[in-house]
Amino acid sequence: MININDKLKSLRTGDGTRRARTKEASSIGKTRTFTDHLVQQVEEISAPTLNDELTRIREALEDASENLERNPTIGNLEIYRVLLSNLIGKATKGAYEVEGVGPGWSLTDKHHVIRKIDEEAEALLLLVLNEQKDTLKIAAKLTHLKGLVVDLLS
């Protein structure tokens, strides 16, 4: 049996590995060896492409969707929501570029220009959202019920 907390930790995007690497580098000192540079470059090159990553998340989302439909528990709902959040976040960051234009320091003073960078990522995001309409409705109902239970307990 898989512990839901362990599964959620592995699904979250901010796993803290970058922080651990920077702490190690700062504790060693400012000088980095040739091997460190080589390892960093290999990691950057071997990183999966955006479409590969979105496809992997989409497959996991489909599995989570089937699990949620078969067994609508709060744990399955949370896994589904995390995967959906990861997919939407990565697709929007990869598909669009937002640029603040105009004078002013605050975001409300500026106009924002949105440019489409990757049409495939946008198409995949729209496809997934259309495919997941029913499961999104189930997730919304479960979230509403979860809120009612919390209200009753408090």
Rg (CA), the chain: 20
Q: How far is residue 48 CA from its own chain's centroid? A: 15
Report pTM. 0.57
Q: What is the pLDDT of residue 117?
A: 84
Contacts of 4 (CB under 8 A, 6+ apart): 75, 78, 79
pLDDT at 151: 52
pLDDT tens for 80-118 read 888 888 888 888 888 888 888 888 777 777 888 888 888
Q: State both tokens at 88.
A: 């939407």
- Which secondary-structure segment (H or E) carries 113? strand 111-116
Residue 126 falls in which region: left (phi positive, over 0), alpha (psi -120 to 50) or beta: alpha
CB-based contact 118:53 (threshold 8 Å): no
pLDDT digits (tens, 9 = 90+) for 66-75: 888 888 887 8
